[in-house]
Structures are given as structure tokens and as C-alpha cells.
Amino acid sequence: MNRPDPVSFTEALRFWLKLGCISFGGPAGQIAIMHTELVERRRWISENRFLHALNYCMLLPGPEAQQLATYIGWLMHRSWGGIVAGALFVLPSLFILIALSWIYLVFGDVPVVAGLFYGIKPAVTALVLHAAHRIGTRALKNRWMWGIAAASFVAIFAFDTPFPAIVAAAGLIGWLGSKRWPMVFALGGGHGGPIKGYGPALIDDDTPTPDHAQFNYGRLVRVLAVGLVLWLLGMGALLVWQGWDATLTQMGWFFTKAALLTFGGAYAVLPYVYQGAVETFQWLSGPQMIDGLALGETTPGPLIMVVAFVGFVGGWNQAVLGPDALFAGAALAATVVTFFTFLPSFVFILAGGPLVEATHGKLGFTAPLSAITAAVVGVILNLALFFAYHVWWPQGFEGAFDAVSAAITVAAAVALFRFKTGVLPLLGVCAAAGLAFTLLR
């Protein structure tokens, strides 16, 4: 089998745009799509190089699938290749979520729309539980990993421990444990499995690292400086325009911290976002946050794009551009939130990529990654309980138990665990069930 022909920037751009429009299924589904397209079908990159990049992206705060697309785009076509790949992974989802968020706010009280969300929210609860199980079966391979997961659940459920502290503790345990018990902790990232051969790839195991991916301190400083300048320009513009206490400025600052301090994918980030957006700033309510996750599950792109919904609803509720420009203000807020959430991801890849390429064949961080992944299982389980509480007891424990929502959750869980139903068909059926019940009661 011959090595594939070199890929032009235009051809790659078309693929990244297509990927941004079809990348449903959360990070696992998105990574599977990229593996099928880039490793198996097109052979743009070998499986070893693909998994090597993925392990790095899994260590970073932020959406690992979007960062993986950015990494591969950068490796193939320099910095602009990475920027285009990462941006096109996000932009279709941003435009779709702005439209859906507007429909939600304007028509959310219409019985048809309310009925659809009534069925979708219990399904989202089952999806979060399924995510905990899916990651757990990959990560909890021995009693040590089970212990880390249990400890992280107790820490966040009982003591409200900040998630970054949980991640730091788990990573330290993994690093120290690998020195004493390497076989216990060196479990790898868990996305790969046996390495298979699909024929020679354009970027193969033995392909020399291209010049632009060679590490040098000058380039590292330049990338970090550009990232910092872009952040300062964005934050500075908001400060000069609206002041520090304004909603848009606070959104920029809060989601910068969210981007830098949260690890483990969207499900792990959501408790932190909930705490800030709902409890601290009150940009939206708890039920609206769950509705936003439901919308995020039904759109392409990284699930963390739920932050665009948070920004849109917060911008709408706070009337950031005045009561006569609700849509414009909400759309601007969604865009601001997206910019500050994803800017660090680009900097991490463009700055850190050369370091990762230099470690090809001698990856040394699988043990901390394994421990962090185990800790994330406990955090996601806590999130599932949080959603179940808000869906099954909409008015709190003092209110009535919603047996229909609980039944939809159980049915959705059976469909996911027993019949391996896809996300979109599941959400469609549950939405129809919720609509039928709403209209008939």
C-alpha cells in the first residue's frame, strides 16, 4: 500500500469544516470520528502519532477533541492549520447554539417546546451517568483506581472540594505511585487499545518531525506572547467599554479561569460553571443550566459549547446591550464566552506541541493521566446525582417527586446501557415522550 499524497491546505480546510458539522456524540464520539477519518480512511497520521497527541490533549484543561483537531491541523499545516482546524471545530456549534438559545428563550414557554425539554432533561441525566460508566470501565482497572474515584466523589460531594485540587491530588498520586508501583498506575489514556496497522500514513511513526514542529525557546515565547496579547486586547476592550463589574467583563474573567483551571472534559467542567454562573453571578437558573446541556448534547462540536448557551442566556437576562437589543447583547455574550473559553486551548497546543513531538516514543505522563481519569469518574458521578435531583424534584425535596421524569431517565439508561442506543435517537425518542405527556396531561 502506497503512502498517501500530500494534503493541500484547502483540502484540509474542507475536511475540518465537515468535521465541525458532523462531530456529534461528545468527546468519545468525536475522537472516534477523527480516528476513522484520519487514521483508518485517509491515513493522514499513524495511530501511534494520533494516540501520542491524544494523551497530551487529555492532560490539558479544555476540550480534548477540539485540541486534538488543532494539534493535527498544526502538525500538517503549521500554526494556521491548527487555528483553522480548531476554529472550524467550534464555529458551527456556536452559530447553531445562538439560534437554538434564542428559540429557547422566546418560545420556551410554548407547550410544544416545554414538552420537548421535559423529555430531554431526564435523558441528559442518563447520559451523564452513562459517561461516568463509560470512563469508569476504561479507567478503574484495579482497587487503587477505584479508591481514587471514590475519594474524589466524597471530596466533591461531601466537602465541595474544588475540582482543580482534586485533579492536582490525583495527578500527584499517579506520579508518585508510578515510581513505586508502575504496573498499577501506567494504564494509559484509554482511548486506544491494540495498535493496528492501516498502511503507511502521511505522518507515520518514523516520519521526521517537520521544521515548524521542532522545539525552540524563541518560538515558545512568541506563541505565549501572542496568546497573552490577544487575551489582554479582549479583556482590555471590555474593561474600557463597560468597566470591571459589567456582566461581559465578568464573563470574560470567569471563563478564562474555567478554561485554565478545569480538567477532565465537559462533564467535569460543568459543576464549576454551575457554581459560578448559577450560584455566584446568577446569570441563569439551575433548570436553565440543565436545558443548556440538553441543547449542547443535540448539536455538533465539543460539549463544553454549553458555555455559549450560558453566555447567551446570561447576556439576555442581564440585557448587556440594553432592553432594546436583547438578541444582539446575548449573541455578543455567547461570542465573548466562547473566545475566552477556547483561546487557552489554542495556546496550549501551539506552544506545547513541539515539546510533545520531542517526547514521541518516550511518553512519560500516562500514570498521572490514569489517576486523573479515575478521579474524573467520581466527579461525573456527582454531576449525575446533581442532575437527577433537579429533574426528579423540580421544586426541591420539599416538592413532589416527578415519577414521569424518573421513568424517562430509567428508560433512557436502559437504552444506553443495554441496547447501546445512539445519543441523537435517544434524545429524539425522549423528547417525543415528553411532548406527548405534556400535551396529554
d(CA 370, CA 329): 42
- Residue 197 in any domain: the answer is no
The single residue listed with the C-alpha cell 423528547 is 431
The single residue listed with the C-alpha cell 405527556 is 437
Cell triple for residue 79? 500554526
- Residue 200 in any domain: the answer is no
Q: How far apart are the first and last CA of the chain?
A: 62
Reply yes or no on whether the pLDDT at 353 is more than 70: yes
**pLDDT given at position 268:** 65
Question: Helix H segments across 140-265?
Answer: 143-158, 163-180, 182-185, 217-242, 247-261
- Residue 268 in any domain: the answer is yes
Structural domain span for residue 265: 9-189+215-440
Coil vs helix vs strand at 45: strand
- Residue 203 in any domain: the answer is no
pLDDT tens-digit readout, 209-221 = 888 888 889 999 9
Q: What are the angstrom distances between the C-alpha of 371 and each of 87, 149, 307?
A: 30, 9, 27
Greater pLDDT, 416 or 361? 416
Q: Using CB atoms within 10 A of its CB, is residue 246 exposed (0-12), middle (13-18) or buried (19+)?
A: middle
**pLDDT given at position 350:** 94
By percentage, how much of the chain surpasses pLDDT 90? 41
Reply yes or no on whether the pLDDT at 188 is more than 80: no
CB-based contacts of 251, cutoff 8 Å, min separation 6: 283, 311, 314, 315, 333, 336, 337, 340
Mean pLDDT of all residues belonging to the chain: 85
pLDDT tens-digit readout, 267-299 = 667 778 888 899 889 999 888 888 888 788 778
Sign of CA dihedral 212, 213, 216, 218: positive
Greater pLDDT, 366 or 104? 104
Q: Give me the mean pLDDT over the 323-349 stretch.
A: 96
Q: Give me the mean pLDDT over the 90-116 stretch.
A: 87
pLDDT tens-digit readout, 39-76 = 888 999 987 788 778 777 877 778 888 999 999 999 99
**pLDDT given at position 390:** 82
Reply yes or no on whether the pLDDT at 129 is more than 60: yes
Q: Give me the mean pLDDT over the 27-41 stretch.
A: 78
Of the candidates 109, 117, 115, the one whose C-alpha atom is nearest the C-alpha of residue 436 is 115
Among the listed ranges 100-104, 185-189, 191-195, 423-427, which one has the minimum average pLDDT value?
191-195
- Residue 167 in any domain: the answer is yes
- Residue 395 in any domain: the answer is yes
**pLDDT given at position 195:** 45
Q: How confident is the model at residue 29 (pLDDT cuts 50, 70, 90)?
A: low
Q: Using CB atoms within 10 A of its CB, is residue 139 exposed (0-12), middle (13-18) or buried (19+)?
A: buried
**pLDDT given at position 25:** 56
Reply yes or no on whether the pLDDT at 83 is more than 90: yes
Among the listed ranges 19-23, 186-190, 362-366, 399-403, which one has the minimum average pLDDT value?
186-190
Among the listed ranges 200-214, 313-327, 376-390, which one has the minimum average pLDDT value?
376-390
Coil vs helix vs strand at 203: strand
Cell triple for residue 259? 478554561
d(CA 87, CA 343): 10
CB-based contacts of 437, cutoff 8 Å, min separation 6: 115, 118, 119, 404
How many structural domains does the chain have?
A: 1
Instruction: Please give the single-letter amino acid code of residue 269.
Output: V
CB-based contacts of 151, cutoff 8 Å, min separation 6: 375, 378
Reply yes or no on whether the pLDDT at 191 is more than 70: no
- Residue 285 in any domain: the answer is yes
Instruction: Please give the single-letter amino acid code of residue 425.
Output: P
Instruction: Please give the single-letter amino acid code of residue 300.
Output: P
> How many CA atoms are closer than 13 Å to the CA of 66, on its beta-carbon side?
34
- Residue 172 in any domain: the answer is yes
Instruction: Please give the single-letter amino acid code of residue 363.
Output: L
Q: Give me the mean pLDDT over the 171-183 stretch.
A: 83
pTM of the complete model: 0.75
Reply yes or no on whether the pLDDT at 189 is more than 90: no
**pLDDT given at position 362:** 47
